[in-house]
Chains A and B, each alone.
Chain A
């Protein structure tokens, strides 16, 4: 079960084109900077957001990112929720495997972004869209 917390504030970024993925990177960078993550952590969070945002666009046919500042006791973190109404992921375990791809990527998007974040969860059902939630704690 994913550790979560109280949501302090949120922002929604729509994802409908490849320039929106750039916007996702910029907004996530702004949030990670504001939360005073180290440069390496900022880079990891933004890179994960770029991978997941691209998945939302390419595999989910577009959707949105909800950014949230979450607080759990003394810990603060950034939560990224990518949602789409696409075909869903038939086999999550396979999709998380490095090198597995249905698109033209390298198949590092899901597994790679899971490694870059602290908490990672996928909810999906065939034909019912996909929700990927990822958290990085400070």
Chain B
């Protein structure tokens, strides 16, 4: 079976927690899967938790930036949360400042940002109870 990173849906939001050391193909699969899911469920916000990632190199950084740009074109906001301080220091020294990517310290403030930006979609059919995993 092909390796995949699960995408959770919660109402109008898609949630991804990257918990494995991603090789490049897996990162590209995530990019494809996420953009497909955004348009499939008409998602308005995407939250990517990278708190388990021990490094973000230029390829992973570029993949995150691509996901954010593609999501924006599909009318969805992306927020990347939980970057470890050592990862942030290294990324900047590497020469990547991740322009165009919205970041937050943790899942809670990331969700808060998405709610503020996207607006609350209460009363829609797919409320919070409808979360499911792919």
- Which of A19, A40, A98, A108 sits near B86, CB closer than 8 Å? A40
* Residue of B with least CB distance to A39: B86
Known: A108-B94, A108-B96, A115-B94. A51 touches B57 (CB 8 A): yes
Which chain A residues lie closer than 8 Å to B106 at the CB level? Answer: none
* CB 8 Å contact bits of B88-99 with A (1 = contact, 0 = none): 011101111000
Whether B16 is near chain A, meaning CB under 8 Å from some CB there, is no
Task: Say whether chain A's binding surface is mostly helix, strand, loop, or mixed.
Answer: helix
- Residue B24, interface by CB 8 Å: yes
> In the complex, which residues of chain B have a beta carbon less than 8 angstroms from the beta carbon of A29?
54
Whether, in the assembled complex, A54 has its beta carbon less than 8 Å from a beta carbon of chain B, the answer is yes
* Residues of A in contact with B (beta carbons under 8 Å apart): 18-19, 21-22, 25-26, 29, 39-40, 42-44, 46-47, 50-51, 54, 98, 105-106, 108-109, 111-113, 115-116
The 7 closest A-B pairs by CB, nearest first: A112-B94, A43-B86, A50-B57, A18-B23, A108-B58, A18-B24, A40-B86
List 27 interface pairs A-B (beta carbons < 8 Å), by A numbering.
A18-B25, A21-B23, A22-B21, A25-B55, A39-B86, A40-B85, A42-B86, A43-B55, A43-B90, A46-B54, A46-B55, A47-B91, A47-B94, A51-B57, A51-B94, A54-B57, A54-B59, A105-B58, A106-B58, A106-B96, A109-B58, A112-B58, A112-B93, A112-B94, A112-B95, A115-B94, A116-B93
